Amino acid sequence: MTAEVTVRAKTALLLLLLIAASTLAERELEAVRTSAPPQIDGRLTDIVWEAAKPSSSFIYRGIGLPWPAGEQTVVRVLYDDEALYFALACYETRPEAIVSDMLRHDDPLWLDDSISILLDTFDDGRSGYWFIVNAQGSRYDAVFSQDGTYIDEEWDGNWRAAARVEEDRWVAEIAIPWRAIHYVDPADGLGIEFWRNEIPNDESSVWANYAGTLFQAAGFGRLGGIDDLDTPVTLNITPYLTAERRWNDVEEGILYNDPTLYEEGVWDDFNGGVDLDFRPFGAMSLAATWNPDFAHIESDLNEINLSRDELYLNEKRPFFREGKSLFELPLQLFYSRRIAEIDYAGKLYGKLGGLRYYVTDVEGRVFEKAEYTTYRGDYWKEALRANVAALRLTHDIFDTSTVGLTVVNKYQRERFEVEYGPFGPTEFNLVEDTFNDTILGADFSMATDYDLLAVGQFAYQINEKNEVEDFAWYLDGEWEDPNWTLGFSAQQVRPDFDAEMGYLPYSDLDTLGGEVYGEYLWSIWNDWLETTYLGGYYYHYQENDGGPLAYQGWGGYGGADLAAGLSLSGSYWQAYETEEYFEDERWSFENLFYSGTLGYGLDRWSNASFSYIGGRYYGYDLHYWELAAALAPFSGLTLEGTVEYERLIGEDEYYSMAGDHWFVSAGLSAKFTDTLWLRLFGQRNTLR
C-alpha cells in the first residue's frame, strides 16, 4: 500500500511539473492604462496600483525545473503615453538580513538584494534593455544583444526608481519613459523577464525563463495590453557654455607647436555647443551635435597593463553610446574611442521590421594608429583632423539568427611629418595629406534550439595611404548547457590588414590560428560549498607566411564559491611567443603565469579580496599583488580602496621596465537622496 501511494505521489508530482512547465513556457503579463501616473517613492499606496493585474509564481533559476522560489515576488505594470510603470513587491521572511550596499549608478547590483527587468522592446527574441534596482533604490542599466553575448554597461537611460524595506518585504517602483528606449509597436506585445536576487537565503529566481540563460530573450514572457499608445514626437535641445583654465599644459603646447603655452604655463578656453535628439517615432532616433561638451563624463582610470596590447577603453560619451552595441563584433571595425574630439556630428539609428540600422558621420580629430606597440601597450599617438563615417545594418533571420553588414571610412586630412636627429625624433610638423581608409564587413550570428551558437565575420580593407588591400575573417562556435561550456574559435588577420578606426589587439595582427576551450560547473549547495568550476584552453597562431610561430599557449583555471561569503580561484597559463622587430632580428619569449585570488565577504556591509600573479613576463620575473576592499559602515555611504604592487626583475636592451611599480586608489560614495549623491575618487601611481 505504501509503495502504491509513493508511486501515485511521484506521478502526481511529475504531472504537476509538466503542467507547470507548459504553463510557464508562455507566461503573459497585462499592462493596464492609468489616467494618473503613480508617485515613484517606493510606497505602493497609490490607488492606481489597485487597478493593475498582479503576477507572481517566480521559479528557482538554474535548476532546470519549474520549482517555486522560497521567497515570492509580485509584479504589476501600468502605462500611459509617457512611461511604463512597475510595482515590485519582494517578500522576505528575514527583512533584517536584506543586503543593499551598492550606491552608485551602474554598481553590480546583482550582488545585493535586487530585482531586474529585462525588456525585449524590439520583440526580436535576441536583444533588449536591462534595468536593475536594489533594496535602497540604486540603479543599474545596460543594453544586451545576441542573447547576452554583448552587454553594453555604458548605456544610460533617463528612468526613475525608488525602493524601501517594509516589515515582511521590500518594494520598488520604477518608471521607464517611452522616450528613454527604442521599441516597435507595443500593441503586438513585448518580451519581458524579471530576475530577483535574494541574499538572505541565497536564492535566484525568475518569472518566465527558468530553463534558459538569463539573456535568452526568445524565452521571455509577454507583456501585453498596450494597445492604444499615443506617444508624441520628441525633440530635445541641450546648449552649453564652459570656461576652462589649464596650468603647465605641455601636451597642448607640443600639439599646437606653441611654446608660449608651456613657457607661460597658463591656457584659457571659453567654449560652447549644442546637442539635439529628435525622436519621430519609437523605433527611430536622429541625433546631432556641434562641439559637444564631455566635461561631466567620469575620467578613464589608470590601469596596470599586464599584456602587450593597447588597453581597451569603454565608451562613456552620450553621443556614441546609444546603438553602438551593434558594432560589438569579434573583429571590432569601429572603435569610437579613436575619435578624440568632435567638431560636429550626426547619426540615425533604429529598427524597421527585421532591419536594425545605425549610420553616423563625425568631423573632428581622430587618434592616428601607431605603427608599433610596446609590450606595455604604450605607444605614441596623436589626434589628426579627419572625417569618419560608419554604417551598420543587421537583419533578423529565422527565430534567433542575424546577418549583418558594416562599412567604416576614415578620410584623413593631414598627417605628421617627422624629422629625425641622431638620437631619434626632433620635430613633428602637420602637413596636408588626404587619403581614405575603408573597411567593408559581413557577418552572421546563428543560434539553435540545441544550445549552439555560431558567429562568423569577414572584413576587407582598402587603405589609400599604404596602397594596400587585404582581409581578415573570424569564426567561432559554442555549446552551453547549465553545466558544460565547450567551444572553439579560428581567425586570420592578413599582414596588411589593420583597421585604422577599429580595435584589433596588436597580438592578433598578421596571424592565422585558433583556440579550443571548455568549462564544467558544479552546483553543489551543501553546508560549506555552493558551486565550483574547472576549465581549460589551448591556442595556436602562426604568422601568415606559414613559417614562424606567432604565439601558442595553454592553461587551466578553477574556483569555488564557499559558504560564509568566501570564494577561491586560481589559474595557470604557459605561452610561447616570437616577434620580428627588425628585418634581421626576431625575439622569442616564454611566458608563464600562475595566479590565485581569495575573496571574502566579511559580513553584509564589507568585502575584500587578495590576488597574486607570478611567473615570467617577456624576459622578466613578475610578481604582482592586489588588495581591494569596500566598506559600507551604514546605508548611504561606501568606502573603497585598491593597492596594487608590481615587481619586474630583469634587464633588456629595449623596454627597460625592471623595477617596482605602485598603484593606489581610493574612493568615497555618499547617497543623500534618490537623485543627489557625491562621488570622490583619487589615484596615485608610479607608471609611465
Q: What is the pLDDT of residues 85-135, one digit of tens each?
A: 999 999 999 998 898 877 778 888 988 899 999 999 988 888 899 999 999
Q: What are the angstrom distances between the C-alpha of 542 and each of 476, 493, 499, 555?
A: 18, 11, 20, 19
Place of cell 562568423: 456
Q: pLDDT > 90: what percent of the chain?
A: 41
On the question of pLDDT at 381 being above 70, the answer is no
Letter string b/e over residues 146-161, b meaning 16 or more CB atoms within 10 A of that residue's CB: bbbbbbbebbbbebbb
Burial of residue 57 (number of CB atoms within 10 Å: 0-12, 13-18, 19+): middle
**Overall average pLDDT of the 436-455 stretch:** 88
Q: pLDDT > 70: what percent of the chain?
A: 85
Cβ neighbours around 365 below 10 Å, total? 18
CA dist., res. 111 & res. 529, Å (int): 18
**Overall average pLDDT of the 165-191 stretch:** 93
On the question of pLDDT at 362 being above 70, the answer is yes
Q: State residue 259's pLDDT score.
A: 56
For residue 6, name the pLDDT band (cuts at 50, 70, 90): very low
Q: How many CA atoms lie within 13 A of 335 on its CB side?
A: 23
CA dist., res. 660 & res. 670, Å (int): 34
Q: Comparing 405-414, 605-614, 653-662, which segment has the lowest mean pLDDT? A: 653-662
**Overall average pLDDT of the 384-408 stretch:** 92
Q: State residue 168's pLDDT score.
A: 93
Identify the residue with better confidence: 673 or 408: 408
Q: Are strands 32-33 and 73-79 parallel, antiparallel or unpaired?
A: parallel
Q: State residue 636's pLDDT score.
A: 74
Q: Taking a C-beta distance cutoff of 8 angstroms, is the pair 607, 107 a contact?
A: no
Identify the residue with better confidence: 180 or 17: 180
On the question of pLDDT at 224 being above 90, the answer is yes
CA dist., res. 503 & res. 309, Å (int): 10
CA dist., res. 204 & res. 70, Å (int): 10
Decide: helix, strand or coil at residue 311: coil
**Overall average pLDDT of the 148-176 stretch:** 90
At residue 20, what are phi and psi to the nearest 5 degrees? -65, -40
Decide: helix, strand or coil at residue 422: coil
On the question of pLDDT at 432 being above 60, the answer is yes
Identify the residue with better confidence: 235 or 430: 235
Letter string b/e over residues 598-630, b meaning 16 or more CB atoms within 10 A of that residue's CB: ebbbeebbbbebebebbbbbbbbebbbebebbb
Amino acid found at 240? Y
On the question of pLDDT at 374 being above 70, the answer is no
C-alpha cell at 35: 489616467
Q: Taking a C-beta distance cutoff of 8 angstroms, is the pair 213, 480 a contact?
A: yes
**Overall average pLDDT of the 420-446 stretch:** 82
Q: Taking a C-beta distance cutoff of 8 angstroms, is the pair 395, 403 a contact?
A: yes
**Overall average pLDDT of the 484-495 stretch:** 94
DSSP E strands in 448-483: the ranges are 452-463, 468-480
Q: Comparing 78-92, 254-268, 446-460, which segment has the lowest mean pLDDT? A: 254-268
Which H/E stretch holds residue 252? helix 250-255
At residue 4, what are phi and psi to the nearest 5 degrees? -65, -40
**Overall average pLDDT of the 601-606 stretch:** 62
Identify the residue with better confidence: 471 or 421: 471
On the question of pLDDT at 682 being above 60, the answer is yes
Q: State residue 247's pLDDT score.
A: 66
CA dist., res. 70 & res. 203, Å (int): 8
Q: State residue 17's pLDDT score.
A: 47
CA dist., res. 320 & res. 334, Å (int): 11
Q: State residue 14's pLDDT score.
A: 42
CA dist., res. 251 & res. 257, Å (int): 10
Which H/E stretch holds residue 486? strand 484-493
For residue 5, name the pLDDT band (cuts at 50, 70, 90): very low
**Per-residue pLDDT tens for 636-677?**
788 889 999 999 898 766 667 788 888 899 988 887 776 677
Is pTM beyond 0.85 here?
no
**Per-residue pLDDT tens for 555-584?**
999 999 887 678 889 999 998 887 665 555
On the question of pLDDT at 200 being above 90, the answer is no
Highest-confidence range of 42-56, 149-163, 365-379, by mean pLDDT?
42-56
Q: Are strands 139-145 and 128-134 parallel, antiparallel or unpaired?
A: antiparallel
Q: State residue 373's pLDDT score.
A: 57
Q: How many helices (H) and strands (E) does the chain have?
A: 4, 35
Q: State residue 10's pLDDT score.
A: 43
For residue 113, give the nearest of 59, 157, 75, 169 by alpha carbon.
Answer: 169
C-alpha cell at 246: 589649464
Q: What are the angstrom distances between the C-alpha of 169 and each of 46, 81, 114, 131?
A: 17, 30, 12, 20
Q: State residue 22's pLDDT score.
A: 43
**Overall average pLDDT of the 360-366 stretch:** 94
For residue 8, name the pLDDT band (cuts at 50, 70, 90): very low
Amino acid found at 102? M
CA dist., res. 389 & res. 394, Å (int): 17
Positive or negative, the CA dihedral 137, 139, 145, 148 is negative
On the question of pLDDT at 9 being above 50, the answer is no
**Overall average pLDDT of the 499-525 stretch:** 88
Sheet containing 83-91: give its strands across. 32-33, 73-79, 83-91, 169-177, 160-165
Q: State residue 13's pLDDT score.
A: 46
Q: Comparing 153-167, 227-241, 243-257, which segment has the lowest mean pLDDT? A: 243-257
* Beta carbons within 8 Å of 16's beta carbon, 6+ residues apart: none
Q: Comparing 203-207, 423-427, 457-461, 662-666, which segment has the lowest mean pLDDT? A: 423-427
On the question of pLDDT at 437 being above 90, the answer is yes
DSSP 351-397: EETTEEEEEEEEEEEEEPPPS---TTS-----EEEEEEEEEEEEEEE
Q: What are the angstrom distances between the C-alpha of 527 and each of 198, 343, 530, 564?
A: 18, 60, 8, 10
Burial of residue 440 (number of CB atoms within 10 Å: 0-12, 13-18, 19+): middle
Q: State residue 493's pLDDT score.
A: 95
